């Protein structure tokens, strides 16, 4: 669901020009329009979340997939302005509208939790409630939604920690396909951004070792290996210079796992582009990740 512009804000140019001269007399009208616009935005934000979360809580994968698509479209619309971002952050303080718990309770739930352990329900009156397992597309989309929530709302990283997000995502990275693994790496960055508890969980799960295994395996899809290179560049660039912080020894881990030359290249490349615009920074990230991959493939 995309947030639409209010029809009462569409004022003809002639009226706009004349309103500049009469701004003092029309200030109550301006306040009324602003109030109506705020109320409309709040209704649209809450409606979009309630509709998307209703489907995301379904027992059927195709409905959950539909709900996740709508939530992702909604998050992209929210990111367009500070006012809508603030509204979204406010809604995430309301339990019924929180997105992250729904993701981990339904789409990112462990497969073992969905296995039928016995057949006692056959002889009972109560029917057994079975939830269809998450498909690859659903898991990938849920990870994109998780990434968006954590980037827009810092407290979503705290909610993710309560559901052991790092452990869940590391399991996805180790067991799922290329589509989910790529989305998982992006979600990991957003979850660990300025979150000490999630960074500590990543260390406890030997996250660097898992990423190093993927990037060092020449049999794995090259795009996924490049994504791992970008992950290391972003992660090391974020924690660089933060003495005593979680993952302060990440440089030593990378040197041990990937070798001195690749580790030095990653450390130097992670300093790139702080003054570049977003497009240039993204291009530089791709180029540096390619160089990291080439340094590994020489041996």
- What pLDDT is stored for residue 285 in this prediction? 86
Look at 120 and 43; give whichever has higher pLDDT. Answer: 43
Rounded CA-CA distance 250/235 in Å is: 9
With 60 as the cut, is the pLDDT of residue 191 above it? yes
Chain centre distance of CA 204: 21
Rounded CA-CA distance 264/292 in Å is: 10
Write the pLDDT tens digit of every residue in 67-86: 999 999 999 999 988 989 99
Range 46-71 average pLDDT: 95
- What pLDDT is stored for residue 83 in this prediction? 87
Range 126-136 average pLDDT: 79
Look at 265 and 8; give whichever has higher pLDDT. Answer: 265
With 80 as the cut, is the pLDDT of residue 33 above it? no
Residue 266: HSE in the Cβ half-sphere, 13 Å Cα cutoff = 34
Write the pLDDT tens digit of every residue in 145-184: 999 999 999 999 999 999 999 999 999 999 999 999 999 9
Mean pLDDT of the chain: 83
Write the pLDDT tens digit of every residue in 90-105: 999 999 999 999 999 9
* Residue for token pair 């996924």: 224
First to last CA, the chain: 49
- What pLDDT is stored for residue 73 in this prediction? 95
Write the pLDDT tens digit of every residue in 207-263: 999 999 999 888 999 999 999 999 999 888 776 555 556 666 788 888 888 888 888
With 50 as the cut, is the pLDDT of residue 48 above it? yes
């Amino acid at each position: 669901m995309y947030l639409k512009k209010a029809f009462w804000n569409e004022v003809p140019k002639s009226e706009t020009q004349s309103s500049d001269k009469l701004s003092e007399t029309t200030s109550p009208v301006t306040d009324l329009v602003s109030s109506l616009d705020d109320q409309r935005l709040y209704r649209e934000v809450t409606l979009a979340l309630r509709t998307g979360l209703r489907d995301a809580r379904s027992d059927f994968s195709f409905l959950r997939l539909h709900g996740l698509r709508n939530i992702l479209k909604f998050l992209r619309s929210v990111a367009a302005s500070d006012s809508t971002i603030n509204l979204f952050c406010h809604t995430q303080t309301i339990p019924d509208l929180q997105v992250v718990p729904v993701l981990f309770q339904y789409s990112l739930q462990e497969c073992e939790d969905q296995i039928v352990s016995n057949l006692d329900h056959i002889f009972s009156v109560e029917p057994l409630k079975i939830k269809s397992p998450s498909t690859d597309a659903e898991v990938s989309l849920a990870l994109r939604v998780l990434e968006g929530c954590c980037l827009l709302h810092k407290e979503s990283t705290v909610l993710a920690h309560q559901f052991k997000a790092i452990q869940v995502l590391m399991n996805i990275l180790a067991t799922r396909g290329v589509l989910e693994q790529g989305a998982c790496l992006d979600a990991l960055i957003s979850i660990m951004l300025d979150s000490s508890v999630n960074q500590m969980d990543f260390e406890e799960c030997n996250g660097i070792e898992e990423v190093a295994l993927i990037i060092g395996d020449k049999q794995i899809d090259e795009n996924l290996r490049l994504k791992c290179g970008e992950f290391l560049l972003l992660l090391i660039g974020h924690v660089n210079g933060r003495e005593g912080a979680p993952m302060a020894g990440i440089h030593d881990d990378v040197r041990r796992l990937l070798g001195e030359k690749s580790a030095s290249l990653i450390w130097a490349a992670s300093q790139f582009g702080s003054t570049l615009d977003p497009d240039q920074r993204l291009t530089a990230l791709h180029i540096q990740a390619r160089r990291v991959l080439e340094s590994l493939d020489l041996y």
